[in-house]
């Protein structure tokens, strides 16, 4: 029989790696709670239109990287092959619905915000999520077709203060704290403002105008970008074009008074909090919904991520709710690439000494007649909060010792003598010592 393998770009997470995932998520949840965030869980698939409108029809994500499908029932229905009256199926004129596995989660969160009329509550909504996202890209280290994001969104009606630069600074300060708490070393925060929904078109027009006469001097990649997505020319890494790029108009010069003041306040608040950042006028974001503040946390080369050195990114999206047919609800959010975060932490941990994780005790029954007694003892000790593995009475004692030494800090022998005398032999592997302990004293002895 041919073996069935995981599909390209997906992966299985096994112990002990999952332990690190859980640690990251637990740390994150605890921290988010301190900042007043509540968890939201949105569906893993949504109406395709949500991403087309929210993320942007012209973005790479929507135009070529989405997992889009139409359920077989809907296909049959739209093809008129389903009669409709049998089995209570929907009538044939019901339109086939195009669905898409979410390529990111902000659109889904804002959709839920609109759908549940959270704007009418009137207060700021602070929501976080942890879950898988899907993009059909060429897989690489730190870049998978099913990847996990930890994200959060702060949004609310204009009067809730959702638009305040304080929110931007709070989110950024929280992220800096999170990376520190997780033990990520050497991170860098890049910060920019890409202007309001009115600033951006003005700047874009000026950028196109500046690009037009020099376009033919650019490398082919950047010529194409100049056409399709001029903003991306700005963060091109190609050294051959740097001189030309330097001379292009700068977004900072096109911010209106409000946007400039907003950005200045964000930076002032960050400085007050002691969060280091780099003003990066080249930092643009790929998704259509971003306005004003945009940011990215990266780690240095050689930190285990290859060229995928962005750990997380985000920004403000003051017009997204309206783009999705909702009320005015400015907001700011971010998404952490959890896979990348884990890779970075693993790469760091490799440079340090790995910590062995062992169970409290291994219980070794002597002979199959002691199996039940061993299991009962394990049950008691586990109930007392200890982590326990049980051996197998058919195995020779030597084998029990070998197995126990690999798995646990201590071993308890359960043989006829022990059960009869109520004195159990406990071996402490680290100390190489052995002692006899009564049943009532066992839990205590195994904790030391």
Partner RNA sequence: GCGGCUAUAGUUCAGUGGCAGAACGCCGCUCUGUGGCAGCGGAUGUCGUGGGUUCGAAACCCACUAGCCGCCCCA
Tell which one of 240, 278, 379, 406 touches RNA (CB under 7 A): 406
Structure tokens at 310: 């962005």
Residue 286 or 326: which CB sits closer to RNA?
286
Angle between helices 165-182 and 17-34 (to 10 degrees): 150
Structure tokens at 439: 């049943």
Q: Does 427 bind RNA (CB under 7 A)?
A: yes
Site string for RNA, 100-129 (x = CB under 7 A): ----x-------------------------
State the Cα–Cα distance between residues 237 and 234, nearest whole angstrom.
Answer: 9
Tell which one of 47, 60, 94, 173 touches RNA (CB under 7 A): 60
Torsional class of 432: left (φ above 0), alpha (ψ -120 to 50), beta (otherwise): left
State the Cα–Cα distance between residues 335 and 318, nearest whole angstrom.
Answer: 17
The position carrying tokens 């790479």 is 60
Q: Does 282 bind RNA (CB under 7 A)?
A: no
Stretch that binds RNA, among 22-30, 56-64, 118-126, 259-267 (CB under 7 A): 56-64
Q: What share of the chain is helix, strand, coil (3-state, %, to 5)?
A: 45, 20, 35
Tell which one of 311, 344, 373, 381 touches RNA (CB under 7 A): 311
Tell which one of 22, 271, 307, 438 touches RNA (CB under 7 A): 307
Q: Does 188 bind RNA (CB under 7 A)?
A: no
Structure tokens at 296: 């990215």
Report, in Å, the least distance between residue 259 CB and RNA. Answer: 21
Site string for RNA, 224-253 (x = CB under 7 A): -x---x--x---xxx---------------
CA-CA-CA-CA torsion sign (176, 177, 182, 185): positive
Stretch that binds RNA, among 168-176, 249-257, 320-328, 410-418 (CB under 7 A): 410-418
State the Cα–Cα distance between residues 104 and 115, nearest whole angstrom.
Answer: 18
State the Cα–Cα distance between residues 46 and 48, nearest whole angstrom.
Answer: 6
Q: Does 139 bind RNA (CB under 7 A)?
A: yes
For the beta carbon of residue 247, count every other beta carbon within 10 angstroms: 9
Q: Are 136 and 65 in contact (CB under 8 A)?
A: yes
Sheet holding 45-47, edge to edge: 45-47, 99-101, 68-69
For the beta carbon of residue 346, count every other beta carbon within 10 angstroms: 12
Q: Does 398 bind RNA (CB under 7 A)?
A: yes
Q: Does 313 bind RNA (CB under 7 A)?
A: yes
Q: Does 327 bind RNA (CB under 7 A)?
A: no
Report, in Å, the least distance between residue 410 CB and RNA. Answer: 10
Structure tokens at 151: 């994200």
Report, in Å, the least distance between residue 348 CB and RNA. Answer: 16
Residue 272 or 368: which CB sits closer to RNA?
368
Structure tokens at 7: 């599909």
Stretch that binds RNA, among 169-177, 202-210, 279-287, 350-358 (CB under 7 A): 279-287
Structure tokens at 56: 């942007």
Q: Does 58 bind RNA (CB under 7 A)?
A: no
Q: Does 336 bind RNA (CB under 7 A)?
A: yes
Report, in Å, the least distance between residue 84 CB and RNA. Answer: 37
Residue 56 or 157: which CB sits closer to RNA?
56
Structure tokens at 59: 């973005």
Tell which one of 47, 380, 389, 405 touches RNA (CB under 7 A): 405
Stretch that binds RNA, among 152-160, 175-183, 318-326, 414-422 (CB under 7 A): 414-422
Q: What is the DSSP letter of 216?
A: G
State the Cα–Cα distance between residues 436 and 445, nearest whole angstrom.
Answer: 10
CA-CA-CA-CA torsion sign (269, 270, 274, 280): negative
Residues at the contact surface with RNA, assessed by CB under 7 A: 2-3, 5, 7-10, 59-61, 64, 104, 135-144, 147, 149, 221, 225, 229, 232, 236-238, 285-287, 296, 306-308, 310-314, 335-337, 339-340, 366, 395-399, 401-403, 405-406, 413, 415-418, 425, 427, 429-430, 432, 434
């Amino acid at each position: 029989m041919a073996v069935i393998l995981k599909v390209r770009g997906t992966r299985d997470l096994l112990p002990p790696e999952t332990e690190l995932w859980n640690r990251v998520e637990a740390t994150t949840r605890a921290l988010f709670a301190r900042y007043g965030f509540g968890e939201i869980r949105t569906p893993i698939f949504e109406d395709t239109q949500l991403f087309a409108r929210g993320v942007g029809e012209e973005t790479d994500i929507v135009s070529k990287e989405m997992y889009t499908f139409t359920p077989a029932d809907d296909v049959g229905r739209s093809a008129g092959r389903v009669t409709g009256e049998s089995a209570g199926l929907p009538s044939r004129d019901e339109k086939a619905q195009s669905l898409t596995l979410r390529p990111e989660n902000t659109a889904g969160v804002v959709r839920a915000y609109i759908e549940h009329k959270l704007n009418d509550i009137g207060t700021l909504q602070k929501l976080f999520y942890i879950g898988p996202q899907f993009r059909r890209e060429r897989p690489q280290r730190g870049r998978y077709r099913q990847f996990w994001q930890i994200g959060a969104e702060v949004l609310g009606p204009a009067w809730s203060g959702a638009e305040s630069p304080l929110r931007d600074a709070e989110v950024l300060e929280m992220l800096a704290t999170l990376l520190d708490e997780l033990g990520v070393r050497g991170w860098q925060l890049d910060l920019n403002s890409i202007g309001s929904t009115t600033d951006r078109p003005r700047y874009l027009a000026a950028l196109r105008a500046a690009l037009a006469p020099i376009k033919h001097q650019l490398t082919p990649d950047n010529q194409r970008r100049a056409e399709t997505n001029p903003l991306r020319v700005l963060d091109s890494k190609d050294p051959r074009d740097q001189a030309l790029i330097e001379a292009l108009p700068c977004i900072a010069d096109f911010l209106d008074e409000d946007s400039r003041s907003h950005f200045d306040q964000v930076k002032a608040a960050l400085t007050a909090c002691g969060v280091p950042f780099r003003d990066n006028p080249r930092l643009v974001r790929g998704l259509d919904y971003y306005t004003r503040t945009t940011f990215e946390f990266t780690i240095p080369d050689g930190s285990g991520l290859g060229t995928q050195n962005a750990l997380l990114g985000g920004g403000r999206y003051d017009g997204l709710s309206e783009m999705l047919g909702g009320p005015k609800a400015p907001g700011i959010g971010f998404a952490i690439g959890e896979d990348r975060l884990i890779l970075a932490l693993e790469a760091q941990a490799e440079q340090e000494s790995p910590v062995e994780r062992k169970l409290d005790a291994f219980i070794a029954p002597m002979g199959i007649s002691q199996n039940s007694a061993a299991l009962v003892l394990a049950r008691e000790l586990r109930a007392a909060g200890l982590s326990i593995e049980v051996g197998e009475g058919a195995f020779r004692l030597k084998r029990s010792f070998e197995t126990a030494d690999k798995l646990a800090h201590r071993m308890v022998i359960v043989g006829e003598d022990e059960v009869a005398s109520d004195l159990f032999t406990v071996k402490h592997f680290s100390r190489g010592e052995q002692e006899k302990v009564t049943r009532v004293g066992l839990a205590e002895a195994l904790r030391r």
